[in-house]
Structure 1
Amino acid sequence: MRKMIMAALATATVFGAQAASAQSTDWTTTSFRGFRLEGNAGGDRFQSQGQHNDKFGYGGTIGFDGQLGDKIVIGPEGSFWRSNKWNENCSGGVNGGSVCQKSFEEWAVAVRAGYLVTPNLLVFGKGGYAVNEQRKRFDAPVGETSYYNHGRTTGYQVGGGVEYTLTQSFVPVPVYVNAQYVYSNYQDHTSRQRVMGGIGVRFK
């Protein structure tokens, strides 16, 4: 996970350097407004029972961006995320047996706010509410009772990243890429971290 975070930061640095050298300060050319639709993929870390497991994950985001003045971008978004073939942590029970906690898909709604460094480069943060489907199973040793619980848990989500527009605002469907880190903390003392990249389009 540390390597993925460093890779995301390196990507952001490259985007920033390119944008600073190539873009003008004509803020009317920015495309950071209107509806957006993107696909996401990257590293997923599910944490529970004092353990964690890292897997590849993927999902999607739909949102709307509005502008306050020239440089502030703000708007709501909804997202979906899942790890490939789910993500699970297992550990030994106190008196034997095993306890396994599995995370399925996550749905979230959030508000994203950012600052336009250039007309094509946005640095943003976000916060919101997340719902995660989970399963917890205890396979008991001989003489004890096993159990199986399957349900949903809720919590909060925070994150941040950078987003770069690849095409100018006069293109009918502007294309953008981003890199971001997202942390979700659930009410059953489990959590999730992910470092992911995204590619999307905007509809004005």
Structure 2
Amino acid sequence: MKKLLLLCATTGLMAASPALAQDASMAASQNGDMVSTNGTTFRGFRVEGNFGGDRFQSQGVHNDKFGYGATIGFDGQIGDRIVVGPEASLWRASEWTENCTGGVAGGSVCHKSFGELGIGVRAGVLVTPQMLVFGKGGYVSNEQRKRFDAPAGQSSYYNHVNSDGYQVGGGVEFSMADRFQGPLSGLYVNAQYVYSNYNDHTSRQRVMGGIGIRFK
């Protein structure tokens, strides 16, 4: 998984590097902010907050909760329409999330999910200079706890692990540069779906919104 992590980050940086060479083609907009020659502001470092629905699945059941997190990334442009770059994310469900089922011979088995860390690459196409449709993928690690509360005569156990896996998703993002000036010209909003699959046969789905700012 460490090799996959390094590969994702390296791929994103390599894909973004041609975009960095396009800085000479940047032109000033009417409010003095820098935009690319096709009129888009989808380039540079970005920071965003995320929030939405979280579903943790394990043992054939699921638990739905409200979740929240944050994402940092870099967007570079290739040509006039392609946007690509690396990103890292943090996510957690409110008050964590836990699935409990009955044991085969009694007792109960509870699987609890804590925070999720992810790193990967996002790539998209500019439908308009203010609208990006994107897909994403990469590596994730989820802190988990599995507990068996045994009935009388049996032994209980408690395991606390970090479960690695992969993540895929996609969404749409809108630039607010045409509505704000100055520092707020980098403001953007998005909506996305993300699926995470962990190597202990558990998974997570989330439908979330985001609001962030891009530093040009």
Short-chain TM bin: 0.7 to 0.9
Partner of 1:17: none
Partner of 1:53: 63
Is the 1:98–1:139 contact (alpha carbons within 8 Å) kept by the matching residues of 2? Answer: yes
1:189 matches 2:201: yes
Q: For this pair of structures, how many residues does the alignment match?
A: 179
Partner of 1:43: 53
Q: TM-score, normalised by structure 1?
A: 0.85
Q: Structure 1 CA distance, aligned partners of 2:100 and 2:200?
A: 16
Partner of 2:115: 105
Helix, strand or coil for the counterpart of 1:70?
A: coil
Is the 1:27–1:119 contact (alpha carbons within 8 Å) kept by the matching residues of 2? Answer: no
Q: TM-score, normalised by structure 2?
A: 0.81
Query: Aligned to 1:145, which of 130, 139, 155?
Result: 155
- Cα deviation for residue 91 of structure 1 reads 0.1
Q: Structure 1 CA distance, aligned partners of 2:170 and 2:203?
A: 17
Q: Structure 2 CA distance, aligned partners of 1:172 and 1:71?
A: 24
- For structure 1, list consecutive stretches of 5 or more residues without a partner in the other structure: 1-25
Partner of 2:215: 203
CA distances 1:125-166 after superposition (whole Å, capped 9, x unpaired)? 000000000000000000000000001010000000000011
* Same amino acid, percent of matched pairs: 72
Q: Structure 1 CA distance, aligned partners of 2:108 and 2:183?
A: 55
Q: Structure 2 CA distance, aligned partners of 1:71 and 1:179?
A: 20
1:79 matches 2:84: no
Q: Structure 1 CA distance, aligned partners of 2:202 and 2:39?
A: 43
Partner of 1:176: 188
Query: Aligned to 1:66, which of 76, 79, 83?
Result: 76
